[in-house]
Amino acid sequence: MADKYANLCLAITGINANDNPGPGMAVIRSLKESFGAGLRIIGLSYEPLEPGIYLRDHVNKTYQIPYPTEGANALLERLTYIHQQEKLDLIIPNFDSELFNFIKIAPQLMQIGIASFLPSHQQLAVRDKVNLKDFGLKHGFYVPADHKLYTIDDIKKAADEFNFPMVIKGKFYEASVVYTMDQAIKAFHQLNAAWGVPVIAQQFIKGTEINIAALGDGKGNNTSIVAMRKLYITDKGKAWAGVTIKDEKFIELGNNFALATGWKGGYEMEIMSNEDGHLYILEINPRFPAWIYLTAAAGQNQPGALVKMALGDIVEPFDDYQAGKLFVRYSWDHVTDISDFQQFSVFGEL
Amino acid sequence: MKIKSNIATSENGFIFNPATGDSFSGNAMAAHLLIAMKSGKTGHEIKKDILDKYDVGADQLERDWEDWMIQLKEANLLETEG
């Protein structure tokens, strides 16, 4: 019997493999490992310098898509056009900021034959940074205290409660550990300009940074959980190297989250393990992380499993993975011709 | 005191704790001791082997053994008692 996955056409966002990479290229790598080189990969890109556009060994063709601020209708219209050209089987969005629109149009996409495997808007909202503390209180998770910042006065109130250092976070992305009021005000203005308000001030928790990548089945269970300890962290707080680790308490935490939310799709828990061994949830990202290929390397290929689940197949939960799988990220100057850049910039396709 | 069962050790003295991601590099003697501990030998048996094999006094060995245990405990590599 022919492998029904071998010739799928899959659309992937987040192909900005830069110094703060989106997960797209790692998702593609995992999918090719799972289903072979016969997959047709369609990149969906917002800007003409996202590296994945030019990595033709990995991405067969890339289309520009409208920014989330242009709304769900613009996205649906563009994807309908792309579908007419490519006959897409499935879309895997990989950016937090685009998920609201993708979730909104998921039923229409399904009607025209494009599958996805996404959380609901409600699930998306409960783990939002703005709501995370309340979510933790309701379900018994350790979550650092926070303040929503709309003005400079709010920063002073947060500093009075948390003292320094504290963490200043953007609504969608980026975070800074600040040690003085001047640094806090500067971070507030930068993050407000980039992502709008509220900016979030979070209590600083000292400890070991651990990330958990997981795949929820939408019924209160996880199909996969893999934990990773960051070994090298960039100035943006991203893991540049890490190693898989295995402890029952990480599995339990992920399972409790899946049970509390009924999460459907990939997600990442950013955890700080403090000196008492308490696992504080710093953030929950509603999509696969950029290090997702490590799950495949450790024996639980989460993007591969997601594709099967999105297409309606039953995937038995993974029960083990290899601890001690280490990744070291690297950068590489990919060379292409200006004509490729021109083609994408002018026509939105390459 | 026993080494945690999940701790990975190698003959060249590298130690990896798969629950925490901590890793350590030990010297040749550390590697020797870890392998002996993981094999199930008691502290008494390991110390006797050392006294038989190396030119070291019992008092000195006892002090060094206590220091070794403190290092293992601080590194969170020993089974929790009780």
- A166-194 pLDDT, tens digit each: 999 998 788 889 999 999 999 999 999 99
Q: CATH 3.40.50.20 in chain A, residues?
A: 9-117+335-347
In this predicted structure, the answer to whether residue A133 has a pLDDT above a threshold of 80 is yes
CATH class of A145-203: alpha beta
In this predicted structure, the answer to whether residue A246 has a pLDDT above a threshold of 70 is yes
Q: What is the pLDDT of residue A2?
A: 58
CA B62 to chain CA mean position, Å? 13
A247 shares contact with chain B (CB less than 8 Å): yes
Angle at CA of residue A206, ends B21 and A201, nearest 5°: 125
Q: Are A203 and A166 in contact (CB under 8 A)?
A: yes
B76 shares contact with chain A (CB less than 8 Å): no
Q: Give the start-end residues of each E strand in chain B.
A: 8-9, 14-16, 23-25
Q: Which among B6, B8, B20 is the nearest to A229, CB-wise?
A: B20
Q: Which among A210, A247, A324 is the nearest to B16, CB-wise?
A: A324
- What single-letter DSSP state applies at residue B73? H
Residue B52 banded pLDDT, cuts 50, 70, 90: very high
Q: What is the pLDDT of residues A329-349, one digit of tens each?
A: 999 999 999 999 999 999 999
- A60: helix, strand or coil: coil
Nearest CA of chain B to the CA of A267: how many Å? 21
Residue A271 banded pLDDT, cuts 50, 70, 90: very high
CATH code of the domain made up of A9-117+335-347: 3.40.50.20
Q: What is the pLDDT of residue A1?
A: 45
Residue A163 burial class via C-beta count within 10 angstroms: exposed 0-12, middle 13-18, buried 19 and up: exposed
Peptide bond into A198 cis (omega under 30): yes
In this predicted structure, the answer to whether residue B81 has a pLDDT above a threshold of 80 is no
In this predicted structure, the answer to whether residue B35 has a pLDDT above a threshold of 70 is yes
Q: What is the pLDDT of residues A185-234, one digit of tens each?
A: 999 999 999 989 999 999 999 999 999 999 999 999 999 999 999 999 88
Please answer yes or no on whether A245 and B20 come within 8 Å at the CB atom.
yes
Residue A79 burial class via C-beta count within 10 angstroms: exposed 0-12, middle 13-18, buried 19 and up: buried
Average pLDDT, whole number, for chain A? Answer: 95
In angstroms, the CA A89 to CA A322 distance is 31
Nearest CA of chain B to the CA of A152: how many Å? 39
In angstroms, the CA A98 to CA A75 distance is 10
Q: Please report, for residues A205, A274, B16, B46, the alpha-carbon distance to residue A244 in angstroms, rounded to integers and kept in the order given.
A: 22, 19, 11, 33
B80 shares contact with chain A (CB less than 8 Å): no
Cα torsion through A77, A80, A81, A86, rounded to 10: 160
Q: CATH 3.30.1490.20 in chain A, residues?
A: 145-203
Residues of chain B in contact with residue A243, where contact means CB-CB under 8 angstroms, are: 21
- What single-letter DSSP state applies at residue A38? T
- What single-letter DSSP state applies at residue A193? H
What are the phi and psi torsion angles at A147 (to 5°)?
A: -130, 140
B29 shares contact with chain A (CB less than 8 Å): no
Please answer yes or no on whether A246 and B19 come within 8 Å at the CB atom.
yes
- More reliable by pLDDT, A172 or A81: A81
Nearest CA of chain B to the CA of A123: how many Å? 30
Residues of chain B in contact with residue A324, where contact means CB-CB under 8 angstroms, are: 8, 16, 18
Name residues 31-50 of chain B within 8 A of A (Cβ). none
Residues of chain B in contact with residue A246, where contact means CB-CB under 8 angstroms, are: 6, 18-19
**What mean pLDDT comes out for the span A156-170?**
94
**What mean pLDDT comes out for the span B33-42?**
90
In this predicted structure, the answer to whether residue B10 has a pLDDT above a threshold of 90 is no
Residues of chain A in contact with residue B75, where contact means CB-CB under 8 angstroms, are: none
B10 shares contact with chain A (CB less than 8 Å): no
Residue A296 burial class via C-beta count within 10 angstroms: exposed 0-12, middle 13-18, buried 19 and up: buried
What are the phi and psi torsion angles at A239 (to 5°)?
A: -75, 125
In angstroms, the CA B69 to CA B77 distance is 10
Q: What is the pLDDT of residue B5?
A: 86
In this predicted structure, the answer to whether residue A295 has a pLDDT above a threshold of 80 is yes
